[in-house]
């Protein structure tokens, strides 16, 4: 079972290329800070603008650097089923603990189409698969009924839920059972998500506040609801500021303020405005992650 604070890692760039040295140092820092698990090549890692070669190298570097100290859930999604199978097979060969596979974007498959997409990936590679359901980016929303069908397949083990529907984790737990791993994809709703049956979060905010995010999840698991609520309240302004513009531009800027990488993003993303920079800086200071 994957649980706790997983970070949706940014992908550092320098001069347009993958900054491998910065990435290795960033992964090491996260492990030192207590992050429970790593997620390379998700949306926050700018997977849409990574070449397949770059995507695979980022996954390899993350797994090599983690060296088994924490789990790695490798992004492996595509709106092409064949590409998703290939990326999942690569994740398996590289040593990932699971693959994060987003619902197919742009081509708007039906519920049956989504079922067949994930079934083909399940059948094509023996690696645990986390469904990434994010209707705001992909348009399609996988229903609980479709997810329950998929959960009967041996490799479909959980979901990253970015629907913002706080009834969803409860309905999913009732339909599938408590053993089905539910990870929030929304930092701002993580505490009620956990209360509804969730097991953790794949977090954007953890890129810059890894220790605080990990402490909040640890407090929840330990039954210290007061501490979890206090930390959640403390983090909330940062959660909001990091989505002041299209993600991951704000979080890339925030990470750069910590000196962990440049704030370079790839087109069609651009750097955030000066007013947004001030908002991000203010939120980071209020939380205590920037002096």
Q: Which domain holds residue 12?
A: 4-224
- Catalytic site residues? 132, 160
- Residue 245 in any domain: the answer is no
- Residue 241 in any domain: the answer is no
DSSP 206: G
- Assign residue 115 the CATH number of its domain: 3.20.20.70
- Residue 235 in any domain: the answer is no
DSSP 72: B
d(CA 87, CA 105): 16
- Residue 250 in any domain: the answer is no
Q: Long-range contacts of range 191-194, CB-CB < 8 Å, 24 or more positions apart?
A: 191/216, 191/220, 191/228, 191/229, 191/232, 192/166, 193/161, 193/166, 193/169, 194/220
Length of the chain: 291
- Residue 65 in any domain: the answer is yes
Cα dist from 125 to 22, 142, 155, whole Å: 31, 22, 8
d(CA 224, CA 67): 31
Domains identified in the chain, total number: 1
How many helices (H) and strands (E) the chain has is answered by 12, 10
- Residue 274 in any domain: the answer is no
- Residue 231 in any domain: the answer is no
The tens-digit pLDDT sequence of the chain (291 residues) is: 799 999 999 999 999 999 999 999 999 999 999 999 999 999 999 999 999 999 999 999 999 999 999 999 999 999 999 999 999 999 999 999 999 999 999 999 999 999 999 999 999 999 999 999 999 999 999 999 999 999 999 999 999 999 999 999 999 999 999 999 999 999 999 999 999 999 999 999 999 999 999 999 999 999 999 999 999 999 999 999 999 999 999 999 999 999 999 999 999 999 999 999 999 999 999 999 998
């Amino acid at each position: 079972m994957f649980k706790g604070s997983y970070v949706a890692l940014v992908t550092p760039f320098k001069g347009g290329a993958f900054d491998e040295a910065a990435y290795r140092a960033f992964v090491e820092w996260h492990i030192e800070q207590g992050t429970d698990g790593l997620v390379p090549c998700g949306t926050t890692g700018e997977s849409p603008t990574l070449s397949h070669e770059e995507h695979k190298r980022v996954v390899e570097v993350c797994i090599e650097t983690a060296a088994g100290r924490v789990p790695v859930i490798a992004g492996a999604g595509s709106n092409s089923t064949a590409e998703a199978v290939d990326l999942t097979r690569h994740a398996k060969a590289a040593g990932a603990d699971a693959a994060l596979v987003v619902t197919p974007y742009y081509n708007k498959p039906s519920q049956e189409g989504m079922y067949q997409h994930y079934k083909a990936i399940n059948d094509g590679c023996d690696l645990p698969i986390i469904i990434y359901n994010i209707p705001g980016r992909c348009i399609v929303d996988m229903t609980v009924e479709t997810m329950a069908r998929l959960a009967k397949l041996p490799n479909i083990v959980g979901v990253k839920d970015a629907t913002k529907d706080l009834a969803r984790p409860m309905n999913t737990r009732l339909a599938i059972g408590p053993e089905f791993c539910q990870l929030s994809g929304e930092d701002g709703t993580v505490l009620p998500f956990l209360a509804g049956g969730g097991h953790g979060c794949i977090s954007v905010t953890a890129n810059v506040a890894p220790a605080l995010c990990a402490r909040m999840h640890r407090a929840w698991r330990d039954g210290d609801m007061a501490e979890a609520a206090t930390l959640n309240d403390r983090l909330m302004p940062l959660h909001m500021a990091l989505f002041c513009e299209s993600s991951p531009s704000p979080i890339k800027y925030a990470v750069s303020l910590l000196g962990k990488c440049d704030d370079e993003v790839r087109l069609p993303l651009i750097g955030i405005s000066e007013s947004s920079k001030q908002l991000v800086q203010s939120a980071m200071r209020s939380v205590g992650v920037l002096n």
